[in-house]
Structure 1
Amino acid sequence: MKASDLFVKALEAEGVEYIFGIPGEENLDLLNSLKDSHIKLIVTRHEQAAGFMAATYGRLTGHAGVCLSTLGPGATNLVTAAAYANLGAMPMVMITGQKPIKSSKQGQFQIIDVVDMMHPITKYACQITSGHNIPARIREAFRIAKTERPGAVHLELPEDIADEETNSQVIEQSAHRRPLAEDKGVATAVKMIEDAKHPLILIGAAANRKTAGKMIRQLIDQTGIPFFTTQMGKGVVDERHHLYLGCAALSDHDFVNAALKRADLIVNIGHDVVEKPPFFMKQDGFKVIHVNFTNASVDPVYFPQADVVGDIANSVYQIKTKLQNQSHWKFGCFMEVKVHIDRNLAEGTQDNRFPVYPQRLVSDIRKVVPETGVIALDNGVYKIWFARNFLAYHHNTVLLDNALATMGAGLPSAIAAKLVTPEAKVMAICGDGGFMMNSQELETAVRLKLDLVVLILNDNAFGMIRWKQANMGFEDFGLKLNNPDFVLYAQSYGAYGHRVSSADDVIPTVEKCYAQGGVHVIEVPIDYSDNDRILNHEIREQSDALNEILSKAEERSIHA
């Protein structure tokens, strides 16, 4: 058998559905072998976007997404996507081509050491040096990509190796079960929870990777312990739950932090330290139980006192089964915090100003996106607004990147989400800066005949950095943009273009796009002028006032 044919058969044995990417001269044997495969090749307009699509496929399915590039510049274009997948714990296999390695007549033209380049940002990187090794290399790559903690792996297939003849056979997938937590670790966690007076539950990204939500919901309902989430933990438990306190979208001085000041124990389910910290530990502060697939990585602000390591859903089940509710648990202060959080999130939702106010936009998008609809967020200041204000009802329905936090991933991620969940209403939400980094993938979405809505929040600037620039007292410089006419831009790709002209236009425009089908781009001018006032001052002032109220109430309780 030709080695490239064996390579494709090995991919088929791994259950690969799609390969995203841009082939080059060095991939032509592989391309020819794919021709008769059931694997669908999705040609993108940029390798970085192909990587984002593959990573998102991995994120949503738990199976490694696959992307393809040629050597040299094609491979270097995958670097950001590799870091995105690896930091965000998304299983992904990257396949890159290479010039012949046994004999070369082109010197060093386009040749860089891609494997060495990929080593620091992947779990595994390898050059295949013989057709006979293909089955083992592919099986190992997919195993490593999926094993907790998931991430990116890289295989380089040189041109002459792909053309070899081989009599090797495909290695089929082996059964794999995640280990279960040790009894003593569970018992330690149970005792710490029972001994606490004010425990809280935190839900992080790893709980979103596997469907642990059912067990976590049962634990919350059984104990009455309130919960909050990290940005990438949104939706594991329906956030309409009466014990949901909010998302730790701001590192400090938010209402959630007022609750943290009163907690003496955090049951930290699935949080990963690569995500922006939802809290900062102190030596004399609350204790933390780390519940995750893997041990905690200790740093100056995260040093949990107990680890429960194993399958998250099973760990939570074991804790829930052994845990007895305690009469000394007190959650009144947390529920007082929730009152203030809910009141704060309702502010601005009826604001009619134009350009559209962020709180109004988030509220309207929540109203128009179905319960099982998926929003894929690019990176910008709006991500904070959506993380705080947008309630997620189901796991993996709010796709955002709080690990690498790269711009340009929103549209490619939405395309992958639509391929994985074709029955869902999918919306990409991008700033004008992030959208233009991979806007060419509109053509990919149109070519695939997807039903997709792309919301562009336009402030004609790199808004997040401009906001930070102002926060730090610098002059306004170097961050303003001139954008194309987004309506005409969309139409040039064969998509539909829309521009809202009032706050009241957002809901009917999205509803029209959903009903019509096809790829729709909606430009929404947005007003970020109050970001500094609200996110840096008002929330801080209100949370500080809440802290004072709660402190006085605690003093009165102690005296009583």
Structure 2
Amino acid sequence: MKASDLFVQALEAEGVEYLFGIPGEENLDLLDSLKDSSIRLVLTRHEQAAGFMAATYGRLTGRTGVCLATLGPGATNLVTAAAYAQLGAMPMLMITGQKPIKASKQGAFQIVDVVDMMQPLTKYTRQLSSGGHIPSQVREAFRRAEDERPGAVHLELPEDIARETTDAAIIGRSRFENPRASERSLAEATAMIQSARCPLLLIGAGANRRHTCRVLRNFIDRTGIPFFSTQMGKGVIDETHPLFLGTAALSSGDFLHRAIEAADLIINVGHDVVEKPPFIMGDRPPVEPADPDIAGAARAGSARVIHVNYVTAAIDPIYHPQQGVIGDIADSIERLTAAVAFQAHWDFDRFMTVKARLEAHILEDADDDRFPVYPQRLVADVRKVMPGDGVITLDNGIYKIWFARNYPACQPNTVLLDNALASMGAGLPSAIAAKIVYPQRRVMAICGDGGFMMNSQELETAVRLGLDLVVLVLRDNAYGMIKWKQANMGFADFGLDYGNPDFVQYARSYGAQGHRLAAAGELIPVVDRCFETPGVHLVEVPVDYSDNDRVLNHEIHEQSRLI
């Protein structure tokens, strides 16, 4: 058969449902082979957005998302998405075209070495130099993409290879089980947990896997050990759980850090080096509580750490765990659950004090009527309109900190934020992918005006696909996160303000519906009406970030210091 037909059959054998992207002339044989396949082509308006969609599909399903681009500028437009998937541990395959490699007559026109370009951004990158290599290289690409730690892979299919004939056969997926942690490491971890006075559980990005959620919930319920999460570990356990202490959204000084300082043992499940640990190991000055009646204060940095993960810990100056439990995370936690029993000497009083103070602080200003909308009111109202299984996708900006900190996630992968590459422009494409995966759920993209405009053209894609989608555009007419940092670091206000289109008319020009808030109290009724009315809805939300520095720096630090 034609090699491009074999390539598509290999994708089908891997269970590929969607291919996101923009074909070019070098992809025409592949496009023709897709025409009669079971794979649905989702034509996008920019290759970067296609990559964000494929990565998000991989994040939500655990299966490799696939995107397509031509050679040259099409391929280079995938670079940001490659880094997004690689740093975020999202399985994604990028397919790019290329000029004929056996008898090219066009010199260097549009030619860049895409395979070499992708080398530092992927787990695997290859040029297909023969139709006979397609089955093995496609299978290897998918294996690498999905193997722990998941990430991005790339295959280049030159147009002369795509049209050659081959009699190669598809290679099926291998059956395997992840290695299990040793009995000795589990016994040593069990002894450390049971002898600790103030153990604390940390849920990181690597724990955000389908089979891990249930066993972690069982561990928490059986042992009664409080837990907290990193930003990309949000929702692994329902954050309305009475033992949930919070999400590490700020680098330091938040209420949650007072609990971390009081722990003498941290069980770090799924630590990913992309997210720095919200604690620093090693010697630091002692931190004593201002209230001597609050028990459990420990020397900051003195906590021992158990590293529960698929792979051993990469050691650096701030992370060097004393014990590793290395193997399939779900299996390790299940075995620890059977071995660890509640200990009468455990002391969680300080943890619960921190939890109460943090929750009280989050409720402050949650019903503030000021307009433009105050971030705490915005987060609280979005939580009210989203059901437990509703999905919000965040672009990158100061509002990401507010949502990470103040928005309780009830289920895994219902708060899709990027605390790895932290790229702007991913919010809308990620929401499109989420709605494709979960057509019956409420899905909302939450974007700053800066990030939204980086891929706003994908409104047309969402309209063309007939999706029911709500997009909140938070308008402050500036790159707000950087302005906050600029002011906080003592720099003059310069170079970060811009103008915006009329977002209501902009949405309507794509065939979407546009809405603009005129008061803080309008958000809930407007968004509810949007979800009840089919189609794509953009809601412009003017926001007021003027109190960010007071609340996130001074107020939180001052109040938490008193615990």
Aligned residue in 1 for 2:395: 378
- The answer to whether structure 1 residue 359 and structure 2 residue 376 are counterparts is yes
| Aligned positions of 1:10-409 closer than 5 A | 10-283=10-283, 285-409=302-426
- The answer to whether structure 1 residue 440 and structure 2 residue 457 are counterparts is yes
Aligned residue in 2 for 1:487: 504
The DSSP-based 3-state class of the residue aligned with 2:58 is helix
Alpha-carbon distance in structure 2 between the residues aligned to 1:265 and 1:454: 42
Alpha-carbon distance in structure 2 between the residues aligned to 1:313 and 1:332: 29
The aligned amino acid for 2:399 is Y
Question: Is the CA contact (8 Å cut-off) linking 1:86 and 1:152 kept in structure 2?
Answer: yes
- The answer to whether structure 1 residue 455 and structure 2 residue 472 are counterparts is yes
Alpha-carbon distance in structure 2 between the residues aligned to 1:298 and 1:457: 39
Alpha-carbon distance in structure 2 between the residues aligned to 1:211 and 1:234: 15
The DSSP-based 3-state class of the residue aligned with 2:315 is coil
The aligned amino acid for 2:91 is P
The counterpart of 1:522, out of the listed 539, 544, 557, is 539
* Alpha-carbon displacement from aligned partner over 1:230-279 (angstroms, at most 9, x marks no partner): 00111111111111100000111000100011100100111211024322
The DSSP-based 3-state class of the residue aligned with 1:100 is coil
- The alpha carbon displacement at 1:209 in A equals 2.6
| Aligned positions of 1:488-503 closer than 5 A | 488-503=505-520
Question: Is the CA contact (8 Å cut-off) linking 2:237 and 2:412 kept in structure 1?
Answer: yes
Alpha-carbon distance in structure 1 between the residues aligned to 2:273 and 2:344: 33
Q: Give RMSD over aligned pairs.
A: 0.8
- The alpha carbon displacement at 1:313 in A equals 1.3
Aligned residue in 1 for 2:429: 412
The aligned amino acid for 1:222 is R
* Alpha-carbon displacement from aligned partner over 1:407-454 (angstroms, at most 9, x marks no partner): 000000000000011111000000000000000000000000000000
Alpha-carbon distance in structure 1 between the residues aligned to 2:276 and 2:441: 29
Alpha-carbon distance in structure 2 between the residues aligned to 1:530 and 1:276: 26
Question: Is the CA contact (8 Å cut-off) linking 1:145 and 1:152 kept in structure 2?
Answer: yes
- The alpha carbon displacement at 1:507 in A equals 0.1
Aligned residue in 1 for 2:287: none
- The alpha carbon displacement at 1:341 in A equals 0.7
- The alpha carbon displacement at 1:59 in A equals 0.3
* Alpha-carbon displacement from aligned partner over 1:161-201 (angstroms, at most 9, x marks no partner): 00111010111112132222111111111111011100000
Alpha-carbon distance in structure 2 between the residues aligned to 1:482 and 1:277: 38
Question: Is the CA contact (8 Å cut-off) linking 1:276 and 1:403 kept in structure 2?
Answer: no
TM-score normalised per structure 2: 0.96
Aligned residue in 2 for 1:431: 448
Question: Is the CA contact (8 Å cut-off) linking 2:271 and 2:277 kept in structure 1?
Answer: no
Question: Is the CA contact (8 Å cut-off) linking 2:48 and 2:81 kept in structure 1?
Answer: yes
Question: Is the CA contact (8 Å cut-off) linking 1:53 and 1:413 kept in structure 2?
Answer: yes
The aligned amino acid for 1:366 is R
Question: Is the CA contact (8 Å cut-off) linking 2:222 and 2:341 kept in structure 1?
Answer: no
The DSSP-based 3-state class of the residue aligned with 1:513 is helix
Question: Is the CA contact (8 Å cut-off) linking 1:60 and 1:209 kept in structure 2?
Answer: no
Alpha-carbon distance in structure 1 between the residues aligned to 2:277 and 2:221: 26
- The alpha carbon displacement at 1:219 in A equals 1.0
Alpha-carbon distance in structure 2 between the residues aligned to 1:448 and 1:81: 22
Question: Is the CA contact (8 Å cut-off) linking 1:131 and 1:162 kept in structure 2?
Answer: yes
- Please, which runs of 5 or more residues in structure 2 have no aligned partner? 284-300
- The alpha carbon displacement at 1:324 in A equals 2.2
Alpha-carbon distance in structure 1 between the residues aligned to 2:97 and 2:406: 44
Alpha-carbon distance in structure 1 between the residues aligned to 2:180 and 2:442: 36
Alpha-carbon distance in structure 1 between the residues aligned to 2:98 and 2:272: 35
Alpha-carbon distance in structure 2 between the residues aligned to 1:391 and 1:27: 44
The aligned amino acid for 1:146 is E
Question: Is the CA contact (8 Å cut-off) linking 2:26 and 2:98 kept in structure 1?
Answer: yes
Alpha-carbon distance in structure 2 between the residues aligned to 1:279 and 1:446: 44
- The alpha carbon displacement at 1:82 in A equals 0.3
Question: Is the CA contact (8 Å cut-off) linking 1:59 and 1:209 kept in structure 2?
Answer: no
Aligned residue in 2 for 1:554: none
* Alpha-carbon displacement from aligned partner over 1:375-425 (angstroms, at most 9, x marks no partner): 000000000000000000001100000000000000000000000111110
* Alpha-carbon displacement from aligned partner over 1:448-475 (angstroms, at most 9, x marks no partner): 0000000001100000000000000000
The aligned amino acid for 2:491 is F
Alpha-carbon distance in structure 1 between the residues aligned to 2:543 and 2:523: 12
Count of residues in correspondence between the two structures = 546
The DSSP-based 3-state class of the residue aligned with 1:261 is helix
Alpha-carbon distance in structure 2 between the residues aligned to 1:60 and 1:239: 19
- The answer to whether structure 1 residue 469 and structure 2 residue 469 are counterparts is no
The DSSP-based 3-state class of the residue aligned with 1:156 is strand
The aligned amino acid for 1:417 is A
